[in-house]
Amino acid sequence: MRAAKQHRHVMMIGTPGTGKSMLAKAMSQLLPKESLQDVLVYHNPDDSNEPKVRTVPAGKGDQIVEAHQEEVRKRNQMRTFLMWIVLAVVVGYAFLVEGAILLGILAAGIIYFAFRYSNRGSDAMIPKLLINNADRQTAPFEEATGAHAGALLGDVRHDPFQSGGMETPAHERVEAGAIHKSSKGVLFIDEINTLDVRSQQHLMTAIQEGEFGITGQSERSSGAMVHTEPVPCDFIMVAAGNMDAMENMHPALRSRIKGYGYEVYMDDTIDDTPEMRRKFARFVAQEVERDGQLPDFTPDAVREVILEAKRRAGRKDHLTLELRNLGGLVRVAGDIARSKGNEMTEREDVLEAKNRSRSIEQQVADNYIERRKDYQLERSGDEAVGRVNGLAVMGGDSGIMMPVMAEVTPRQGEGGEIYATGKLQEIAQEAVENVSAIIKKYTGESIANKDIHIQFVQSYEGVEGDSASITVATAVISALEDIPIAQDLAMTGSLSVRGDVLPVGGVTHKIEAAAKSGCNRVIIPKANEQDVMIEDEYKDQIEIIPVSHISEVLDIALVGEPEKDSLVDRLKNITGGALEKGSAGAQSGSPSPQ
């Protein structure tokens, strides 16, 4: 609102579907329509290739063109009347006086074409209405995403007949660009970095000067010879894109925007408040009305859409702002209700739509997970040494269980090494290295004479992130101490070098994956406790155990009373009684997962 009122340019950076174009349209609604202008292009009698430009208040352009057309029409009527008189005199003289019929017909033809040819120049007297804002109720909004130079900056049409009296006047061939049509309004360009460098440079000039002359954009066209006087382009530019847009954007253009406006990073979530929930309910109603073919949603159906907005946010007490995708869910749910012949869209329709409206990437991930179940490594008994049920996310919101195994062997090299396999990416590899500090601290023994092998089982697509840190630490400590781990348990969580369990992303989908795989319990970071929004069908299937320290993880995961109690007692001595103190202090400064 401030940018619109102060006439400032804006660059919006954020994920797709977060309302960048919607905000740009809203800005155009706030601009005064009283300042709108019509733009006329006139023939220049001194140089036809330099048409003149004139601006008038909105609505006056039509009147001026009509006045010129009326003047030309009257002039043509007079010339036509005069032509018929001359023809009548010449033909009458040839027929009646000279008796030369053929000569009379020839003279009449010559006179007729002479009048018609000389009459062509009168069309040049009529100006072209380049920009017509007469019927606009709001300031213009022009979307120029991916526009070529002519569509963005204006162009001059090619004239194949450039002489012989058949040519089209230059000013008639002038076409306005998006920068001119959006004058006194908003010019919206998404993926601003995709514009070619030349267009970005010209756009810079238009922003700086507030006017830009129109010329032919093709060097081989006759339009390239035409160049109008400067045409007003006093627009507010809203440039949008993802983070990579800033890398490929012309630095001088970005400097113009920053110097005359704002750079804004678009949040993809917003606080979950009663007021915001009412706005989301209004959003559902607007999508139904805008589509025009969907049945209205029941209150329960609207609540389910809002719950899905909360799930997609992935943060506690937040709602997603990726409204385009959420609007897709609304439309699919309405289509399902319509196919059933229902008068209203019910909650069950929304639940069904959640499965049908998944992206292609998500469907591929689900298909991969489903096929993988045919060859999934089964758990061997209720407990196992060095084996932990880890959890991961694929495709954005498909959870999958990924076992992690650890084995300790005598040293084969000069010093003890940690080997990790499973196509680990950089962050995951660093997480494994950090776990070594935990191992050295809590096992109470030197590992210099041992090699530790860690395997992420069936991780064909690789491992990203550090959310398997507590899984790796638990598996290795179990192997070192030869203490079994409960196999009805799954876990996820990052780990600091001091043993604090840090929050991770996708915790809801990971819990659901654990439940689908038959686990009875799942360990998650305490900081993620408020992020859990699992479907109702899984709530009674699995127990969720929030933890804040690796000592708590080991106390829950390890089995075998004598050995386990001895290790836990040793951990208490090392950590200063972390089990009794809990996690409030340890997690108070923990960052939220990104």
Residue 166: other Cβ atoms inside 10 A:
11
Residues 201 and 106: their CA atoms lie apart, in Å, by 59
Question: Containing H/E element for 437?
Answer: helix 426-443
Residues 322 and 325: their CA atoms lie apart, in Å, by 6
Q: Clarify whether 510 is annotated catalytic.
A: yes
How many residues in total does the chain contain? 594
Residues 202 and 194: their CA atoms lie apart, in Å, by 15
Catalytic one of 436, 467, 478, 494: 467
Residues 500 and 470: their CA atoms lie apart, in Å, by 10
Residues 49 and 343: their CA atoms lie apart, in Å, by 63
User: Which residue's entry shows tokens 């909004």?
Assistant: 141
Where are the extended beta strands (E) located within 78-137?
Answer: 128-131
| CB-based contact 418:452 (threshold 8 Å) | yes
Residues 492 and 354: their CA atoms lie apart, in Å, by 25
Residue 371: other Cβ atoms inside 10 A:
9
Residues 333 and 354: their CA atoms lie apart, in Å, by 8
Q: Clarify whether 181 is annotated catalytic.
A: no
User: Which residue's entry shows tokens 């804002």?
Assistant: 133
Cα 458 off chain centre by: 33
Specify the DSSP class assigned to residue 548: S
Specify the DSSP class assigned to residue 59: T
**Structure-token pair, residue 472:** 């790796």
Catalytic one of 21, 510, 548, 551: 510
Residues 108 and 84: their CA atoms lie apart, in Å, by 10
| DSSP-based three-state secondary structure for 239 | strand
- Give, to the nearest 10 degrees, the angle between helix 60-92 and helix 101-119: 170
| CB-based contact 451:417 (threshold 8 Å) | yes
Residues 525 and 503: their CA atoms lie apart, in Å, by 5
| CB-based contact 214:174 (threshold 8 Å) | yes
If we measure between CA atoms, which residue out of 295, 299, 298 comes closest to residue 331? 295
Task: Name the CA dihedral angle for 382, 385, 386, 390, rounded to a multiple of 10 degrees.
Answer: 10
If we measure between CA atoms, which residue out of 405, 433, 443 comes closest to residue 551? 443
- Residues acting as catalytic residues: 467, 510
